[in-house]
Structure 1
Amino acid sequence: MVVRIERGAPPARTDALETSARAVLTILSDERSLGEGPWAQAMTDWQDARIRKVVRRARGAEWRKATTLPGITVTGATTGTAVADAASAGNTGGTDGTGEPSEAEGTNEPSTTEAPAAAEVRVFPPVPLDGWPKELIKLQVSGTDLDDPAEPGPVPDGAAVLWLNPELAMSAGKTMAQTGHGAQLLWWRLPDPARAAWRAAGFPLAVRTATPERWARLTASDLPMVRDAGFTEIAPNSMTVISEFPAAGVAAR
């Protein structure tokens, strides 16, 4: 997966986490991934092995090149518009949204702080680790982190929930891979009618960090649980995400 992170307006963390999960669900259920579709064999081989996801980041021309490759772009929620930063009213510089100096440089107008952009995630059919396209191989993978401008709201009615382990600290890129895993395990758990209904609704889901008390209850359940192999950031066999979908009958008891 590749997440778009522009200098001027990166996405909010939770939006990126939720969008990465929906991106995985979208490619799993896409007609090109099924039957005799052009991605079907690659998807089958990938799902028959240990599933692994790599999240890289791109902006500008790098993002545009990534979107020319076979795949699907999934867009998250729009979180707001640009707002003036009154504290920087005396600033003599500015940007034009690309990180470069704007033509208005040298004025005393208040600068503009971009609100988080809607998350954009491009998901690609799986390839071997040594078979990445040249357009993606140079994209950075480490250090992808994001913030939420405010605490996420309540979980929408009828949505699946991907609960994050409250005791683990992971970068946004790492966590995006984990929520993708959580969504995939939940998809595998659902019967065909529930899958079809979820897809028709646009895969409503939420990513939230569980309280320690809730996490203890979830770990004692038979819900889909993600255990990380420990290649990066966290110890092997760490439990990262537990997936719950009460509306579809997948809930802690």
Structure 2
Amino acid sequence: MVPEPHPIFTDPGFAQRHAVLARGYGDRPDPGDPASVLAMPIVLHIPKSDPPDRSSLLEAAAIATVTLCLDPRVGPGPDGEPGPWQEPFLAWNDARIRKVSRRARGAQWRAAQEVPGVTVDHAGAQARALVPGPVGALDPRISRLQIGGTDVPPDSPPSPPAGVPVLWVDGTLGMTVGKAAAQVGHASMLLAGAMPLESARQWAAAGYPCAVREATPARWRELLAHVENGSAVAVKDAGFTEVAPGSVTVVAQAE
């Protein structure tokens, strides 16, 4: 019996959603009212007694971000009508991309599941990317979560699995896990947009597997050369928190 193809290969809207990422995000100036700035909240599940490995948590954040960015609800439905998340997502993607990570545990984590978004459970870690919106209109269940206190000690993961994209983090920057989660989230959506459509479909069908690893200084120099020749994509931070403006925080390679 011939297996049914993965739904993503017969989804006519995937190409349109991918095209949004392929064209890149915008640079519309920030509004005068800081409360109107648009951001994507990322909620990291960090239990007090048994926190996940840092690398697994960052991978979960990256997967959750790209999953939301290519979710059918951010594009038009089969009838051509806008999906329920399309308007806020496009408004955010056309502005200066911002993400804010917050920590949740216990009842807070369960409450976060009620706010529109996508949760990823990966290698013992969980993260939820939420539909972007104005920072001043954040759902109270999310706004009460801590932005600070999201650090998790570094771990020593094995070499990245063969054949999966790797999101290389500049470890010399000393980013907290909350800051790094936002940066690898940027990287995953930039990488998806840089992929040819059919490669992006295949990545989606596999569940967007990726590895997050810290690069040694020597490896980092090699990665920047790959960015220069177009075989990798880089995240340059605006410098609002933790790092200097223009810092390259993450380099993503498809393999």
**Is the shorter-chain TM-score for this pair beyond 0.5, marking a shared fold?**
yes
Q: Find the partner of 1:52 among 80, 91, 98.
A: 98
Q: Give the match for residue 25 of structure 2.
A: none
Q: Distance in 2 between matches of 1:48 and 1:34?
A: 14
Q: Distance in 2 between matches of 1:10 and 1:185?
A: 28
How many corresponding residue pairs?
205
What stretches of structure 1 of length at least 5 have no aligned partner? 78-117, 247-253
Give the structure-1-normalised TM-score: 0.78
What stretches of structure 2 of length at least 5 have no aligned partner? 1-41, 77-81
Matching of residues 158-173 of structure 1 within 5 Å: 158-173=163-178
Residue 196 of structure 1 pairs with residue 186 of structure 2: no
SS at match of 1:56: strand
Q: Give the match for residue 11 of structure 1.
A: 52
Read off the aligned partner of 1:209 and give its amino acid letter.
E
Q: Give the match for residue 114 of structure 1.
A: none
The alignment's C-alpha RMSD in Å is 1.2
Q: Give the match for residue 241 of structure 2.
A: 232
Deviates more, 1:8-17 or 1:209-218: 209-218
Report runs of 4+ in structure 1 exceeding 2 Å deviation. Answer: 220-223
Q: Distance in 1 between matches of 2:129 and 2:171?
A: 27
Matching of residues 1-253 of structure 1 within 5 Å: 1-35=42-76, 36-77=82-123, 118-148=124-154, 150-221=155-226, 222=230, 223-246=232-255
Shift of 1:69: 1.3
Shift of 1:183: 0.6
| Higher fraction of helix | 2
CA contact (8 A) 2:187 2:234 kept: yes
Read off the aligned partner of 2:89 and give its amino acid letter.
M
Q: Distance in 1 between matches of 2:214 and 2:195?
A: 23
Shift of 1:143: 2.8
Shift of 1:68: 1.1
Shift of 1:145: 0.6
Q: Distance in 2 between matches of 1:236 and 1:142?
A: 20
